[in-house]
Amino acid sequence: MAPHCPLTEIGVVHSRHTRTEHTPVQSALNLAEHATVEVFPPYLDGILGLADFGWAWLVTWLDRAPGTPLLRQIPFLLRPQRRSMGVFATRSPGRVNPLGLSLVRVIGVEGAHLRFAGVDLLDGTPVVDLKPYVSRFDRPDGDPRCGWYDTVPIEPGVRPADLGPAPGATQYDTDSQRIGPHPD
């Protein structure tokens, strides 16, 4: 368990990804890839019934995000345009509270393992909550506006590395989740 995560960790993600730059930017863009959540023993009773749902929200602590987030930053998908946004208008990992929210397809639950499709997380990412997706609650009516996301092309499986280097990137930035200039 990561000692710097101020929330209780209920489990951990096991995926093939070890570097942010080579991890798909959103779970919905990577449904062909599978990974697992290992639920820790004290929380195993909490996954009873989850296998009956087709989709679930994975709430994670993005433990490799920068310590001090930039409130205005260039999101991965806007790198080609070098256009900045406020952090609360992005899905960036560099946040005031680095919580991740991934909508994943539930493949199955076996013992302490939730197998899912839609991988956008690094191996070892702490899981702080799981919630079933309920279309009657989670899907808004009509065709909701999605801000700048409605204006950019988004390819399946796209990774930050596919979109060009981060602004002011150094090797440190490429190997971590830091998306601004190196602090040193």
Q: Which amino acid is at 117?
A: A
Q: Is residue 182 part of a domain?
A: no
Q: Is residue 97 part of a domain?
A: yes
Q: Does the pLDDT of residue 184 top 50, yes or no?
A: no
Is 155 a member of any domain?
yes
112: which DSSP letter? T
How many structural domains are present in the chain? 1
Domain range for 58 is 11-175
Residue 1 within any structural domain of the chain: no
Task: Please check whether residue 181 lies inside any domain of the structure.
Answer: no
Name residue 160's amino acid.
P
- CATH code, domain carrying 157: 2.40.30.70
- The Cα 128–Cα 12 span in angstroms is 9
| In a domain? residue 129 | yes
Q: Per-residue pLDDT tens for 27-50?
A: 888 899 999 999 999 999 999 999
Distance CA 145, CA 149 (A): 9
Q: Give the mean pLDDT of 7-17.
A: 96
